[in-house]
Every structure is written in structure tokens, then in C-alpha cells.
Structure 1
Amino acid sequence: MSPAPPKHLDPAVSYASDESLFLMQIYEPPMGYHFLKRPYELIPLGVESFPTITYLNAEGESVEPDSADVAFSRYHLSVREDARYQPHPAFVTDAEGDALYLFTDPEQGREYGQIGDFPLTDSRPVRANDYVYAIKRLADPFNGSPMLGFMAQYIVGMKDFSNTLQLVPRNGWVNLDQYPMAGLEVIDEYNYTITIEGRYPQFTYWLAMHFFSPIAPEVDRFFRNPGFADRNLTLDWWPVGSGPFMMVKNDPNSEIVLERNPNFREDYYPEEGAPGDAEAGLLADAGKRLPMIDRAVFRLEKEVLSLWTKFLQGYYDRSGEVHGNTTGVFDQAFVVGPDGVELSDDLEDHGITVSPDVKPGIYYYGFNMRDPVLGGYTEEKRKLRRALQIAFDTEEYLNIFYKGNGIPAQMPIPPGIPGFVEGPEGINPHVYDWVDGEPRRKSIEHARQLLVEAGYPNGRDVRTGEPLKIFIDVQSQAISNTSMNWIDRAFARIGVQVEYRPADWNRTREKLLTGNTQIYSHGWLADYPDPENFLFLLYGPESPLICNCDGANNSNYEREEYDQLFRSMRVLPPGPERLDIVSRMVDMLRDDAVWLFAYYPKDIYLNNSWVHNTKRHGISKNTLKYLRIDEELREQKREEWNQPVTWPLFAAAILLLALILPGVIAYRRRLTATARQ
């Protein structure tokens, strides 16, 4: 079951989690993640081994990794020789070796409405140039990749390459192989290099994202055929990769079908995992060839309850996300027991298994640090924000609106990411105390005292006597009247009034870009498992008011010491020194009370009893190849759960007989009486 239809399936353009659900089954980027191990562990995927890194000075000469003269880092990658693309018409050639399906006008290709209409397909090995070509597509302004601005800060020559292509006439396909990029080099058929500015250890994580998956130039050329875009014959609709699956049907408002790529390389289920995986049966398939299913069907169900009914009938193998605000479904699926949320008796009888997922992400309300009332860095302003943090009871909020299906955040770094700390050392001491082995929110009386010290006794400005009113910008469709009423009451306990400023996303985004907010709502899911991916949300130069861009620092937080530590942390390799810097940065954010409240999202996925290897992976989406389905058990359960209900027919027949019988008896009596006369 797909949660939403994908809008983009071009790996250069897509930046949505729901789209990665498909892309990461079809493409293989250079790097990936171990399916079972936690903390998250990188592994080679489309390349033979981890990239080797050479450090260079400004003159391009090799220097030691710890040298102060490092100006560039050069990543050398070796492509797997057994990787092949899926069968596709783009690879078919004629007797002269030229592409067969290339047309000069729309009428020539009019008979082809979708990929299945092409009678011939072919394939070829993945080559180093395909990876280089894919990076050039990120830089092509014609594609509008969301990665261009960010990666141009790192990949040498990317900005100049993009500026060059900006001037190239667009009368059809532009062969990007004809335009060099300074930071890219194809050494031979299976080796290439990427050169980036300075040091950036996190770049290896980026190589595990679909943006860096190989794109064959002939595929790019194929989809530029005249008239193809009018029929959705585009790479954005029909992805072409070397991964375990290929797309054979794309009707995003109804059904998307993936089938096993017959050319997929040898790949095997891992033979080791995290502690407890063996006991959970997650190593039962160790060493088996992947993928273990031949076909996956994703359907878009418009009605949640209809989807839920079909799941219980066995017509879906897995549920989508089930969380506390999934109306009706959560209440049917779970009960609240002494140990928290538990499966209901009905689901226990079905043998359904649960795959909980604490996402490596965070949702939060943030303060605008430039706001004249709530912003600023004086001790009075900090105490004002801390009072509001205490009044917003996150635990109560999650219990009411998400059935407790979330974890109150003590820091901007979520569980599973280096730098996250549990226990008494990990709490925010300005908002919580550690009591009886768990964090306990400070009292409302403490919050009221902080308001007094901030100059707002009983919620009134001591200078003017005016009541303190705070303004919260919300997306119109992302908050309910019930939620707003709860927040009103939460702040009323300390005498603070609330006014909401609802707007659509475009208007809300405009306010964030111009700093025209006081309190705003936002969220972030990890692109890669590193604290940098969260701490950059409050890095000064990421403020939209500083960078004049769509920066991530919507709080406009500026503290030079924090920014200096961030720059140091960003280039350090993993280790104690880096974690110490992360800890100091987290302490600064707590001291300054930059966010009003935050929580780590927690979702639950349900699996019918015939589905195996369902462990969730918070970062990677290429987990479909590990699933195993017991088809015999599925058919058995479907038949058992969907027996025709015949008792109403028998009951109706008995009722009808009961209604008719007295009349029949009376009629027969009259006949008998007549005969006697």
C-alpha cells in the first residue's frame, strides 16, 4: 500500500520519502546501508568497495589527511563489473549499432504510449561514465534538481558547469558527455573520481542517496524523443535502473507494479545483524539470493477504512503507516495496556506482527530569534522561552493527539544518530528533572516564576501592563481546532494568550523566508545518519535572512560560538572529539531555548503472518528485496478469512417459511373442510 502517489521518479529531481520507496528498489547508488545492523552502517552497493580518498592542496598535490593544506578531497570509486541495467527499449540497437528507437518527429513514435508497447528490449553493463553522467544531470539547470544548490558548494566545477549549460540552446537532447566538469573524471570503464572542496566526511553518506545512482546517456536520450513527454514517456515517469526491481506499470492514482529485474546482480541476505535479530527470526534467510519476491503491487486506497478492511481480509500483505491520528484504524488495531500500546485481541488472532519505527527525524515548533518579543539572547528572553517550553506539555500533547505514539525530544538529535544521549545525562535540564529513573517536566509554578523573572508576572508585561500574546503560524490543513484549543489551555495556565495565523504552505514558506514569524511549525527527517544533518537546522549561515535562499535555519538562530563549533564538527571524522563538540552545541541550543517543543515521530507498520524480514530501516528505503512471502500460507488465510457467509440466507429462508407456513396450514384446512362438506 502506497501512502501517496509519487510526483517525481527522476532520481535527479525527486526529494520525497514516498518517492524513494520506489526509486531505491529500481536504482543502486554507489553506497547503501546494512539492512539489519544498528547503529546504521554504510556498505558498498553499486561499487566494489568503499571509496578511497586522496587529499590535495591548492596546487593539486597529494598531502596527508590531517594536513592544514588540504584544499580538496578526491573520491575514487570502482564500479561493480556484474551490475547490469534492466531490459529496456533505450538499449536496443540496429545492425549498424545505432539506437533503434530514436525519432526525429512526434509522428514516428506515435504508436508507443507506454514502455510495454515497445516490442524489443535490451540491456548493457553499468559503467563509470553512467555515474558521472548522473551527477552532470544534477547540475543541469534544465532538470531543476533540488540538489544543485547544495552540491555546488562541494563538487568542484559544478557551479561553472551549470552556468555553461544555462547558455546551451535547448532544441532537443543535450549530450552532457560533451561538456566536462572539473571535479569529475572517468578513468576507465569501471573507475571514476569525484573531487570536492576541502574536507567533508559526510559526502560518503550522500553517495548512498538516489541522486548519485547511474543514468545511462542512451536512456536520457531515449526519453527526449519528440512527443514522448506528451504521453508521460519520461524518466520522471518510467525510471530505468540496475537495482533488484523494475517498474512495469505506473498508474500513480491507482496502481504501481514492480517486477524482479532479470539482470540484477548476485546479492544475498546478510548473515549477521544487530543484537536480537537472530531471536526475532531475522537471520533465518541468511545467505539466500535476493530479491526473494518476484512482484510487488502498490495500490493507492482513497479510503483508510477500506484499506484497513482489505488488510484484515488478507488482500494486502503489509499495512501503511499506522499512527495515533489515523482515524478509526489505530483504535481498531491497538489497545492501551499497562506496558503501553499493544495489539488488540482481534489482531492477535490474525497472527499479525508489528514493525515499530522511531524515525530518525524531529517535528517541532520553533521561535524566531529575531522577533522583538520572543527573540533575543538576554537572560530575560531565555527565561521567557523556557517558561513557554515548560507550559507546552509535550507528553500530554502526544497522549491526546497521537495515542502516545511519539517520544518527547530532549535535543535536536534523534535516537539512532551519533550524539543522541539517553538517561539523566541526556535530558534538557531547563525543562525537565530526572525523577525515579525518568525525565519529569518541571512544574507550572516553576514556569510562572520564570515569567516573573522575565518581566511578565501573571502573563502581563511589567512595563505596560498589557497581556502577553504569542502568535503561532500554522499550515491551515495541518492543525485541528481541537489541537488549537488544547494549546490555548496549555498557555492559559501561565496567563499567556495565543493567536493563530493559519495559511497555506506557500504563504507559510514566504513568511519563513522573510522572517515574518514569531512561532512556526516544522519537521525534518534525516537524509543520512549524522548529527550534522540536524545541527545544521540552526547553523547561522543557513538562515534565509542571511543566505537569501531557502535556508533550513527558520529560527534565524545566530551564535558565533555555535557556528564555529559547527564548522569544526562538520569536517571531523567520527570519534570522541567530534562527539564532545556535538554535546557542547546541544547545550547551547538548550540554554538559548530555540525551539518551543519537539518530538521524535514514531510509526507502526503491521504485517500479516506470511510476511517475513520486515525490520524497518529509518534511513534506507531499498528494503523490498529482503522481504519473503509464504504464498501458501497467504492463500490458506485468505480462504479462511473470506468464507462466504451463508447463515443470513438460511435465516431468511426460515423466516420466510415461518411467515408462509401458517397460511399454507390454513389453506389446507379450508380445502379439507370443503371436501368433507
Structure 2
Amino acid sequence: MQSVTLAAFRRLTALLWGLSLLGLGLGLVGCDNSPYPPGETGKSILYLALGDDPKTLDPSVAYDVASGEVVNLIYPAYLEYDHLKRNPLQLDLDLGATMPVYQTVPVQEMVDGKRVTRMGQLWTFHIRHDLRFQDDPCFPGGKGRPITAADFVFSFKRIADPGVNCPIVNYLDDKVVGMRDFENYQMQREKRGLPPDYSYPLPGLQLDPHDPYTFRILLDQPYPQLRYLMAMSFTTPIPHEAVEKYGKNFARHPVGCGTFMLKEYVPKDRIVLVVNPNRHPEYYPSEGDPGDRAAGLLADAGKQLPLVKEIRFSIIKEPLTAWNLFQQGYLDLSGVSQINFQQALSSPGQLSPEMRARGIRLFKTTGADVSYFIFNMDDPVYGGYTRRAKLLRHAIALAMNQQEFIDLLSVGLGKPAQFLIPPGLFGYDPNYKNPYQQHNLELAKKLLAEAGYPGGVDPKTGQRLVLYYDNSGVDAEGRLQTALVIKQIQKLGIEVVPRSWRFPIFQSRVDQGQFQFIYFGWVADYPDPENFLLLLYGPNRRPGPNAAGYNNPAYNALFTKMRAMEDGPERAEIIQQMRNIAVEDGPMIYGAHSESYGLVQPWLHNVKPNPIALDSPKYYAVDAGERLRLQREWNRPNLWPLVGFVVFLTVGSLPAVQVVRQRSRRHVRVRPPEES
């Protein structure tokens, strides 16, 4: 019995020793915590993160950032934004062979049964002759065919198809001759359960009968901003074969002609893009802004794109998970938010010692956007154009401290807005100070009294003013913002009543004008002041982008004139006049232009974020060998706990061995049976 116990103990001890030594051996060989297949990170692959699955990969529909970051690499446009040049942003050729030109022409249209002649524009586009779609089963033999001007026209007809639901159709359907008629025709077919018929005439889209690489667009009004739409994926050439073959699945089966093409899409996990062998030749720019060469941004000048062979997007909803992967070296880029601000930065604009020691670089970007608070200009108390109403709105604007919002909600990142136009766009004046955006509570109280509400009270009724603040801040950050709005405005003596809604309900109330005061924001579709000034253009009233319902004839007339002009002193003067009119009327309280920090791994090069373009990854270069070396260094296993366990097992087992041995050597005395 005792010998069996000793033998079992010895076997157990040997097993524990064996497992410990095995673990130690594996640790010495090295443990791999990489989320990717072994050795993959040593290849020419770019590792990026998406916060969610793209809503769609259909270029005629994709409008969210997650979709755009993928779509813009698969579907290029006639023009593209220069990777390096800023202030102003510059358009270059991509699929186009020549820069688009337009001429002023008379256009005849029927309006209310009468033929009307107005001055429009005829734009001419010549595309490259070497363009081909990627290989795909939708083509005969699976080989991508050459691209012609007809593929661009097909794309524009998809924009006008109500069944596609293109989000930028309103930029075109009131300008392209015949597009509204085309829309209505397709809508009637849809109601009858019939498929769309793109053979229906659309006179504003014209193919050249003598040149398959030329098309023209006829507008019934001047619209220089068309050039910017030709740099958006909405106007990319689309093969009708793919739309016909894949139907609704076209949104998950992109067929483009871009630098990359889709290799794999696993929802909620990853999207993998690989180099498209049918892509047209593209080269890294040879010129940039002052300082770009010193920053190493021209080291790859003249090299053929792309500079990586594959892009892997990991779909990571939790920001903390993405941050941990970046720290381990398994993501090449990271943003900076409240989640990682203290770890990444020692102070605003300064990397933490740990990040500097790792060779990580910091960049800062100012967004082409603006946030703002809106008064409902139809409201009987806070709306209208009387002196009383203007003073009331100005008083509230002066009581609000936009810098406090930036500090509390955006960790100090953001530039207080003085008007709609953000930095970097024509018409932005860095020296302008909006007289009603300079926080001044005493002046605010004075203007409130002049409006007839001393201390926030209406002396005629003795009732305190009430301001209903509708918002979509149903999460913790939104509630914090709402609390700050209440705190600042109630210092005037005005009672603020918040009404929080889920976003679809909030948007519906805004569209129907069921609000007094709301918070909103706008991100540029293209870098032209028209794209921001349209927010106060009367005909754009809700459910259009003019949510305030602001309608000043003088502003409207200047907007119509400004929209048709090229940048220059005269246009700048008109923009200034529009700004002065809007500021005095006070339909908005301007919030901030966003700013953000980003982190770049030491092995990633050529990163210069663009506030508009989403195709920057095709310019990025990766030193895969350096990445692999640093990943191993940053994820080196900590063997001390394992070594300590082995030592503990060795020392701790000695007394137990002695006890067992002593017990095994004992003699058991057997008492003889007693005699009866």
C-alpha cells in the first residue's frame, strides 16, 4: 500500500515537472499573440481598423466613413485629391485624360408649359484609353473589359434612379438637363413593379458619337462645383454587367477599376483588399507642400502605386481593443480619443515618453466640418427677424462658451467656429471674430434685457422664458453635453428643458420643424464654401440641409451669385457680405471645427491625412521587416512567472518527498491475537 502511494507521488511530481519544463521550453522558443497567420506581418500588408462593417460597398450609395474607406480604394473617379498639397486642396487627374472644361451655353426648358431659355454650362470629359475593369465572373471569360465613356454615363443614371437611393442626387437633379424627368419615369416604373429602364432619354448626359472616350454633361445653370463631384466615388464608372448579375448582392460584390479589389469580406471580422492587376498606372507625387520633403513625405516620389500589396481592415467595434492591438504593433495606425489620451499623450500635442521611446509619430488634423446650434426661425418666440428676436438669439450665443464644450467633450481638441466655413477652404478668414461668439455673460444679460426679458423673465406676464432643447444625446457623452447647454444658458435666467430622442425620431422632428433649439453638424462633401453656405440658403429649408428654415432674400441672392463663381477677390467679397448678414440675423450659434490626433507606427511612411479624400492608403509604404522585429520586441514573453513556478515546485516538493519516504519506511506492528 505504502509503495503504491510513493510511486503515485513520484509519477505526479514527474508530470508537473514535465509540464513546467515544456511550458518553459515553449516560452524560450517564443509565444505568438498575433491575431494574424504566422509570418504574415512580415509581408507587404497594411493593417487598419474599421469601427464597424461598411453599410454598403455600392459606390452609388456609400456615404458613411467605414464604407468610403473601402469603396474609394476599389472605385476611383475622374479626378482625385492630391495626396500632399493643402491650403487649398488640389484636384488632379485620376481616370481622366484631361482636366474637365466647360463653356456657357443657352439651354431651353419647359417651365409651367412655357419654353424658357437660360444660360447653362456644357462640361466635356475625356477619359484615359487604358482603363479596364477588374477581372470578375460577370464578364465573358471572367476577364475585365475596357472602360468607355458609356460606363460613366451608366453611373450617372444610377445616381438618378430612385431605386438606388443615391445620397447626392440633390446636387445634380436640379441642374442636369432632363434628370428630374428621368427620375420621375423610373419612379413610375418602380411603382408598377417594373425594373428600371436606362434607355429612357436623359439629354443632359451626352456620349460623343465619334469618340467612345468622351462624354458631356449639360447643366441648366452654372455649377463650377461639378468638378468636385467628379472626384467622388458616386461618379465612378460602373459595369452594367455586375449590376445585372449580382442584383442586390452588388452591394457586397464590388467590381471596379481601382488600385485594389476585394479579396475577402467576413462580416464583423475583416475585409481584405489586394492589388488589382488591371489597374491603370499611378505614381507617387513628386511635389508637395513646404516641409513635406523634410518630413520624409517625398522619399517615394515617382514610384508606381500602390506601395503595399494588400490591405487588411479588421472590424473592431471596441476602441479599447483597437488600442491594445496598436500597442502590440498589430495595427499600423491609431486614433487618439478619451480611451487612450492619457497613455498616448503627456499633454495636448506632446507624445508620452513611452510612445516617443517606441518611435511612434503624432499627427494632427483639422476637419473640413463645423458643428452648430440652430434656432427654429419659424418659432414664435426665438424665430423671426425682428430686433427683439435677434437680440434674444445673440444673448444666448454670448452666454455660451464654446471652448468649454471643446475642453470637456473633446479633450481640448477643436477650433471654436466663428462662422460656417472651416479652415483650409476658400473664404475662411482666420482673423475674423464673430461679435456674438465671444463668451460674455454680462453683455448677454444686457442684450436679453434690451430684448424685453430682463433676468430671463417676460415683464408682461411675469413668466420665465423657457427654451426647449431637442437633442439625440441619449448616451453618456450626449447627456454630458446637454447638461453643459443647460448650465450655460440658465445663467441668463432662461429655463432650459431638454428633450432627448433616439436619432431617427430626432431627425424626423427636425425635418418637420418640431423644435426650438437643436445641435447639429456638417461635414464637407467637397472643399468649396458653397457646400457650407448652402446650410442657410432659403430654398434648402428642411427637410433639406437648411434645418433652421432661415430665409433672407439678400443672403439668397448673394448665394446664387457666389455659387456660380470661380474663386477670386469678387467671390471672397460676396462671401464676406453673406457672413455679415447671417451673423446679424443669428439663426445659428457656431460651435467648433473638429481637430483630431492620430498615431503612426515607426514602420509606416507617407502618412498625411486628407480631410476630404479617403484613398490615402494607396500612398502608404510599410517596412515589413522593421514591423516584424518590433512586434517581437514589444511582445516578448515574460518568463519570470514560469521560472518562479518551476523553482517553487522544485523547492516545495522536497519536504513532501521526505515525508512520503519516511512514511514508506515505517514498520507496521501486528499485534498477535489474544488467547481466549
The TM-score normalised by the length of structure 1 is 0.86
User: 278-287 vs 341-350, which deviates more?
Assistant: 341-350
| Secondary structure of 2:594's aligned partner | strand
Amino acid at match of 1:472: Y
1:497 corresponds in structure 2 to 495
Residue in structure 1 matching 2:205, options 180, 184, 188: 184
Aligned pair 1:429/2:478, yes or no? no
- Rounded to whole Å, the distance in 1 between the matches of 2:408 and 2:196 is 55
TM-superposed deviation, 1:29: 1.1
The match for 2:336 is: 322
Question: Which stretch of the first structure deviates more once superposed, 288-297 or 602-611?
Answer: 602-611
Contact conserved, 1:333 with 1:344, CA < 8 A, in 2?
Answer: yes
1:270 alignment partner, one of 266, 285, 291? 285
Change (3 A) 1:659 1:455: farther
Is 1:17 the counterpart of 2:65? The answer is yes
Which whole-Å deviations, capped at 9, do the CAs of 1:610-632 have from their partners, x for residues lacking one? 11111000111111210101100
Of 283-292 and 214-223, deviating more is 214-223
Structure 2 residue 606 is matched with structure 1 residue 613: yes
Residue of structure 2 aligned with 1:255, choices 240, 263, 270: 270
Structure 1 or 2, whichever has the larger Rg, is 2
- Asked if 1:383 corresponds to 2:391, the answer is yes
Q: Secondary structure at the match of 1:58?
A: strand
Q: Which amino acid aligns with 2:602?
A: S
**Structure 2 CA distance for partners of 1:408 and 1:217, relative to 1, 3 Å:** same
Is 1:455 aligned to 2:457, yes or no?
Answer: no
* 8 A Cα contact 2:346 2:352, kept in partner: yes
Q: How does 1:145-160 map to 2 (within 5 A)?
A: 145-160=166-181
Which one-letter code corresponds to 2:336 in the other structure?
V
User: What CA distance in whole angstroms lies between the structure 2 residues aligned with 1:59 and 1:515?
Assistant: 36
Cα deviation code 1:482-521 (max 9, x no counterpart): 3333332222322222111111122212211221111111
Q: What residue number does 1:506 align with?
A: 504
**Equivalent position amino acid for 2:350 in 1:** E
Q: Distance in 2 between matches of 1:58 and 1:616?
A: 41
SS of structure 2 residue aligned to 1:81: coil
SS at match of 1:604: strand
Secondary structure of 2:636's partner? coil
Distance 1:480 1:69 in 2: 51
Decide whether the 8 Å contact of 1:392 with 1:597 is kept in 2. no
Instruction: State the Cα distance separating 1:168 from its structure 2 match.
Output: 4.0
Q: Provide the residue aligned with 1:48 in structure 2.
A: 97
Contact 1:238 1:250 in 2 (8 A): no
CA RMSD, aligned part only? 2.3
Equivalent runs, 1:112-511 vs 2, <5 Å: 121-168=142-189, 176=198, 178-187=199-208, 188-224=211-247, 229=248, 234-319=249-334, 321-323=335-337, 326=338, 328-336=339-347, 340-423=348-431, 426-432=432-438, 441=439, 443-477=440-474, 479-511=477-509
In structure 2, the CA distance between the partners of 1:358 and 1:672, relative to structure 1 (3 Å rule), is same
User: Is the partner of 1:19 in helix, strand or coil?
Assistant: helix
Amino acid in structure 2 at the alignment position of 1:497:
E
Moved more, 50-59 or 266-275: 50-59
Displacement of 1:367: 1.1
After superposition, the Cα gap between the structure-2 partners of 1:244 and 1:173, relative to the gap in structure 1 and judged at 3 Å, is: farther
Contact 1:2/1:298, CA 8 A, preserved across alignment: yes
What's the counterpart of residue 96 of structure 1?
none
Structure 1 residues 480, 47: CA separation in 2 closer, same or farther (over 3 Å shift)?
closer
Work out the CA distance in 1 between the residues paired with 2:388 and 2:108: 51
Structure 2 vs 1, CA of residues 446 and 173 (structure 1 numbering), >3 Å: closer, same or farther?
closer
Q: Which runs of 5+ in 1 are unaligned?
A: 61-67, 94-120, 433-440, 545-549
Separation in 1, partners of 2:241, 2:497: 56
Deviations 1:348-398 (A, max 9, x none): 122111232211001122111121221122223222222211222111121
Q: How far apart, CA to CA, are the structure 1 residues paired with 2:527 and 2:480?
A: 35
Number of aligned residue pairs: 608
Please, which moves more after superposition, 571-580 or 474-483?
474-483
SS in 2 for 1:281: coil
- Structure 2, gaps ≥5 residues long: 1-48, 110-115, 668-676
- Tell me the equivalent position of 1:118: none
Aligned equivalents of 2:373, 2:310: Cα separation in 1: 42
The yes-or-no answer on 1:34 pairing with 2:95 is: no
Cα contact 1:175–1:217 (8 A) shared by 2: no
Deviations 1:125-184 (A, max 9, x none): 2111100111111112222222334311011111112222334478886562x3331111
Deviation at 1:673, TM superposition (A): 13
**1:657 Cα offset (Å):** 4.2
2:450 partner letter: E
Cα offset for 1:186? Answer: 1.3
Q: Give the distance between the partners of 1:267 and 1:647, measured in 2 at CA.
A: 52
**Cα 1:382–1:302, aligned 2, differ >3 Å: closer, same or farther?**
same
CA distance in 2, matches of 1:491, 1:173: 54
Taking the aligned partners of 2:289 and 2:541, their CA distance within structure 1 comes to: 39
**Corresponding residue SS for 2:625:** helix
Deviation at 1:330, TM superposition (A): 2.1
C-alpha contact (below 8 Å) 1:173/1:221 kept by paired residues? no
CA–CA distance in 2 between the matches of 1:365 and 1:247?
41
- SS of the equivalent of 1:617 reads coil
What does residue 575 of structure 2 align with? 582
- Partners of 1:636 and 1:671 lie apart in 2 by 55
Taking the aligned partners of 1:272 and 1:613, their CA distance within structure 2 comes to 13
Cα shift at 1:558: 1.4
Q: Which of 132, 154, 169 is the equivalent residue of 1:84?
A: 132
**Residues 265-290 of structure 1 deviation map (CA, whole Å, 9 limit, x = unaligned):** 11100000111111111111110100
Letter matched to residue 91 of structure 1: F
2:663 and 2:58 map into 1 onto residues whose CA distance is: 84
CA contact (8 A) 1:70 1:199 kept: no
In structure 2, relative to structure 1, the CA distance for the partners of 1:649 and 1:70 (3 Å cut) is same
For residues 515-565 of structure 1, what are the alpha-carbon distances to aligned partners after superposition, in whole Å with 9 as ceiling and x for unaligned? 111111111110111110001001111112xxxxx2111111111111111
